[in-house]
Each structure stands twice: as structure tokens, then as C-alpha cells.
Structure 1
Amino acid sequence: MRSKLFVIRGEIHRSWYTTGIITTFAGCLLLWSVLSYGSFVEPTFLPTPTLVLQQFLHQMVNPEFWNHVGISIFRVSMGFLLAVILGVPLGILAGTYRFAEALVVPSTEFIRYMPATAFVPLIMVWAGIGEPAKILVIFIGCFFQLVLMVADNTRAVSKDLLEVSYTLGARPGQTIEKVLIKAMLPDLMNTLRLILGWAWSYLVVAELVAASSGLGFSIMKAQRFLNTDVIFVGIFVIGLLGLLTDRLFALCHRRFFPWLEGGK
């Protein structure tokens, strides 16, 4: 069994996989405990796990905290959905037709290297400081990456499948709908899963735009008063929410495409 651990793409027993997960998290917790309980780092900068757990339990019964969670979920969902609604069709178009690729891909490649944070001042001018501005930050952080990745997913579909559909008499529109889109769906779901992770990572940036609610706002507010335990709780909750949405995508991938090897 041990020799199989170092086989390229080799399968290992589920217990070994689980052991690896537990070991990683236990190692991080141990290092954190040693540094904090051992007073190697000032509590102001690194609170103990016990203090963070107490703060977490306190926040769980705090209605204001759940309001922050709800508004953050709303902002991430809206920014992500807007990026999907506009980005997926554009990506499919760019991956299907060369003329569309020439129109879309070069400019998108250029803009995607511009950090979303650099757009914050412009967004405040364009959209004000309300909810649309915060959603727009998340949208910009996701949209341009999504277009390029969907275009790559589209181009990855075997050309032989398209040729077979033409041989069977399918029209171009039918080929796109019945063959191209269906063939790219597994990769598209993985792309959306990755982009949703980026949406969560842009949440704190979005909530810098004159926010008075949300997890990012609560983290920044705690930073001003050096309440690092509250900062840790906010970071962990964002991570947990991101993990839950990621696992939901993974579950859907397994249910919708059970024949795919490694569909996790």
C-alpha cells in the first residue's frame, strides 16, 4: 500500500486519503496552539483557538452576525450569477466561432490582468456606494476569467463529435445545442465551481466600498479595534461558506455526470 502512495495518479485506500486530510488540519491546529498558548505571539495578534471558538459560539447566537452572513451571501450570489448569465454565452460564442474569438478574447485577456481592486474608485463613480457597487466588484472579479475559461471548455470538445453531427444531418444551431453544449457541461460545471471560489475571495474587497454590513465589513471593523478573534471568526466563516458551495458543486457534478472518472 505504501508503494502506491507515490504512483503517479495511483489510487489509494479511502482511509489513507482521510488520514491525509486529518493530518493536515491537525498539524495547522497544533502549530497555531503552540504559537498562541506558548505565548510565542502576542494574543493581540494571534488569539488562542479557545478564544476564537468562544467568539464563534457568541456570534452564532448574535442576530447581527447572521445579518452579515445573509447580506454577504446575497452579494456573492448576485455577482456570480450576473457573471454567469453574461459570461457563459459569450465564452461559448468565443470558443465556437473564430470571428467571435477575435472580438472577445484579446480584449478579455488584457482586462483580466487588471486587479478588481483597481476598479473600486471607478465603480464608486459609476454605481455609487450602494449594493450595485458591491455586486459589480464581484462581477468584475469573476466575469473576464469566466469568459476565457468557458471559451477553453468549448474548444476542448472533440471536433470529431461535431463532424459526426454534421454527417447525421444536424444544422449548426442543433450541433451547438445538442452536441457542443452537452459535451462541455462537465468541464463547464468545474469552471463555475472554480469561479464561485473567486467570487468568495472578492467579497472582502467588495465590502470595502462604503459597506455597513457583511462579513467583510465586520472583519474590517474588528481590524480597527484589533479584535483579532472576531477577524479569525469572519475569515473562518467565509471559508466555511465557500467550502459548502464548493461541495454542493462537487455533489451536483457526481450526480449529473456519474460516468466521469474523478468527478468529485
Structure 2
Amino acid sequence: MSRALGDDAARRQINQMAEFIKLEARQKAEEIRVKTDHECETLKQLTVAKRKAQLRDQYKRLQAKAKSQLRKDESKVLNDERIRRLRHQDGLLTDLSRDARSKMERFVAAGGEPYADLLPALAGQAIAQIAGREKVAADVELRVRGCDVDLLGDGGAKDAQGRSKLRSKLRSAVKAAMVEALRREAETSARARAEAEADTPEAGAAAAAKAGEAAVADAELPEAVWVKADTRLEADGGRVGGGVIVSASAGRIVVDNSLHARLALVTHELQHVLRAALFPASEAAEE
């Protein structure tokens, strides 16, 4: 009987020990599960945070790239539009220049007294430019169209009195242009010096007037003026072209005062003025 009880007690103890071991195992398993879940959650959060950071960086790069491309596209569109507008404006200016050239050619082709009066003035301006650089040579050569030789030379007069009038007219125009050019140059220089020294506009104006009078008094004219034909001034059979080419000092100094050269010079120098007058909105936008 006691032996049987001893076996039951042993069996109970064994069962208790087994239950204790199972409990310990379950607790240990729970601890491992909790720890594993925590580590897994931590790793997952780190992975998610890292991936989010990567995605944010990638988004920023793509956004910056998209903005850069957008700016490039906008700039290209603006440049293309600006080029198109400038080409259109250039076309209008070209048409304007072509129209001015056509009117000039009609004026030359018409001839008559207005053109005959213009030639000596053009010659005078050119000689004045030469005089502004160095002392006027004894001989000055005027090259004109073949059909204009008679307007400036002796061939246009039938008698001595007529030839004298032609030369007098030419010399008067030359002197007038030279005097005006020398006066302007002397007045400008004197005004600048006087204002710098005295710092008063009145002193500058007085000095400019005095210098202008002195320049007029010292103005010299060439002793002889020769007129020759030049095919470079002829176009379309000599009906258009016109003006004069003046040379001095054995051809070392040449001033092209032909009408085509003057038109090209005016068109170039006044291009900004013409653009501002014709396209004020475009000029204001560029500034």
C-alpha cells in the first residue's frame, strides 16, 4: 500500500516537474517571440525609414530635374519667340531700308536741280572730313557717275561764264561744309575743355563760339578740284547710284560719300533708334 502511494507521489512530482518545465518553456518561448517581434518591428521601422529617406531623396532629385527641364523648356520657348520676333523686326527694317533705297534711286533717276544741288554739298562734306584729319591737299579728286560729270565739271557749261559759275558753286558748297564741320569739331572740344576747367556751361559756350570762329577763319580750300567718272557709282545703266567718292593725298585718303554708302551708314547708326520708334514694347521689355 505504501509502495503504491510512493509511486503515485513520484508520478505527481514528475508531472509537476513536467508542467513546470512546460511553463518555463512557454515563458521562454514567449520571451523569444516578444523579443523577436520587437527586433522585427525595429528592423521594419528602420527599413521603412531608410526607404522613405531614399524615396524623398529620389523625389527631390526628380523634382529638381523636372524644374530644371521646365526652366530649360521655358527658356527655349522664350528664346525661340524672341528670335522669331527679332527676325520679323529685321524683316520690317529690311523692308524699310529697301523702301528708302527705292526712293533714293527714284530721286537720283529723276535728276534735276535738287540732285544737282546735292552733289556739291556731298563733295563739301567729304572734303571737310579729310580736312579734319590733316591739312587739305593741293589737289582733290571727285569721282562721280559718268552722267554726273557735267554737273560738277566744266562739261556742263557751254561758255567760260558757265564754267566759272559751276566751279564757284562747287567751291561755295565745299567751303560751307568744311566751315560747318570744323566749327562743330572746334566748338565741341573747346566746350569740353572750358567746362572741365571752369565748371560752368556759360564758359564752355563762350569758348566754343570763339574756337568755332577761329576754325572758320583758318579753314583752307583745296587749290584744284578734279572731277572724274567712276563706274562703282553706277548701277542699272547709270540710272541709280549717285553721290561722290572723294580722294586726296594721291589716293591715300578716300571718303566714300556716295548715296548708297550714306544710306547704309544711316541705316546702321540709326538701327537702335528705328527699333525704339517702331517696336517700343520690345525695346522696353529688353531693358
- Tell me the TM-score range normalised by the shorter chain: under 0.3
The TM-score with structure 2 as length reference comes to 0.24
Larger Rg: 2
The TM-score with structure 1 as length reference comes to 0.25
